[in-house]
Amino acid sequence: MKWLNIFVKFRLWIGLVLIALAVFVNMQAGFWPAFIIYFLALICVLGHFLLGPMRLIQSAMEEGDMVEAKKIVDSILFPQLLIKPIRSVYYTIQGNLAMANQDFDGAEKLMKKGLSLGGQFTQQAEGPSKLQLGMLSIQKGDMKQGEAYIRQAIRAGLPDNENNAAAYLQLCSIMMNKREFRAAKEYFKKAKSYKATTPQIVEQIKQIEKYITRMPG
């Protein structure tokens, strides 16, 4: 709904205009005629600081416009005022943006911060967030921590075939590096069973398949 995005974008300014209007009505006709305007202004201002522009960020990320998403995230000057579930989303998105910019240390800190806040959203996002933390650890060369995070992600639950396939492919690669070939084959079989369609995952499966049939075990 485009109109809702416009409202979220200008919610603070709408609130400030309503406050000015409420003060004018208050001076001309008294408090009670201005009460509803004060109330609407309060909703707008509190909504801006407590809920933030998360709808706008989500829209930008769905469209693949990471520059716009980062711009909107950076416009949140007081993230500590966001309610806890929204703050969790905020730090998770910050972590994703940091990861896209190859800032792996920053991404790890932000994702951990988002997970630490708890709440219903955090429970739903725990699996994908821990999968990303696992991949971050692997990219940093910490295979042990990466494996632990990926196993935690699978236990927490992953939302779709693509995430599940990615998780089991990572475990397959780890087992290959550890020369635990039987386990590697099992994880590879599990990854293929999810029938992922993401080009990167499909290509990774093709590459691993060239070698895995030659392995002992």
- pLDDT tens readout for residues 158-180: 989 999 999 999 999 999 999 99
Number of domains in the chain: 2
What's the rounded Cα separation, in Å, for the pair 101 and 95? Answer: 10
**AA letter at 105:** D
Structure letter (DSSP) for residue 179: T
CATH of residue 120: 1.25.40.10
41-61 mean pLDDT: 93
What's the rounded Cα separation, in Å, for the pair 110 and 125? Answer: 14
In the three-class reduction of DSSP (H, G, I as helix; E, B as strand; rest coil), residue 118 is classed as coil
**CA–CA–CA angle 135, 151, 215 (5° rounding):** 80
Whether residues 107 and 183 fall in one domain: no
Structure letter (DSSP) for residue 81: G
Tell how many helices (H) and how many strands (E) occur in the chain.
12, 0
Please list, in sequence order, all residues whose beta carbon lies within 8 angstroms of the beta carbon of residue 145, skipping any fewer than 6 positions away. 134, 137
Query: What's the distance, CA 126 to chain centroid?
Result: 10
Residue 201, in any domain of the structure: yes
The overall average pLDDT reported for the chain is 90
pLDDT at residue 173, rounded to an integer: 93
Residue 48, in any domain of the structure: no
Of 143, 159, 175, which residue constitutes the final position of a domain? Answer: 159
Of 159, 186, 207, which residue constitutes the final position of a domain? Answer: 159
Whether residues 144 and 80 fall in one domain: yes
pLDDT, one tens digit per residue, over 77-118 is 999 999 988 998 899 889 988 888 888 889 899 989 988 886
Whether residues 148 and 180 fall in one domain: no
pLDDT over 70 for what percent of the chain? Answer: 96
Whether residues 133 and 189 fall in one domain: no
Residue 34, in any domain of the structure: no
Whether residues 102 and 172 fall in one domain: no
Range of the domain at 151: 74-159
> Left (φ > 0), alpha (ψ -120 to 50) or beta: where does 10 sit?
alpha
Please list, in sequence order, all residues whose beta carbon lies within 8 angstroms of the beta carbon of residue 94, skipping any fewer than 6 positions away. 73, 110, 114
Claim: this prediction has a pTM higher than 0.85: no
Residue 14, in any domain of the structure: no
pLDDT, one tens digit per residue, over 115-144 is 888 665 565 678 888 999 999 999 888 999
pLDDT, one tens digit per residue, over 8-39 is 999 999 999 999 999 999 999 999 999 999 99
Of 144, 159, 174, which residue constitutes the final position of a domain? Answer: 159
Whether residues 78 and 120 fall in one domain: yes
**CA–CA–CA angle 86, 90, 91 (5° rounding):** 125
What's the rounded Cα separation, in Å, for the pair 92 and 119? Answer: 13
Whether residues 135 and 110 fall in one domain: yes
Please list, in sequence order, all residues whose beta carbon lies within 8 angstroms of the beta carbon of residue 200, skipping any fewer than 6 positions away. none
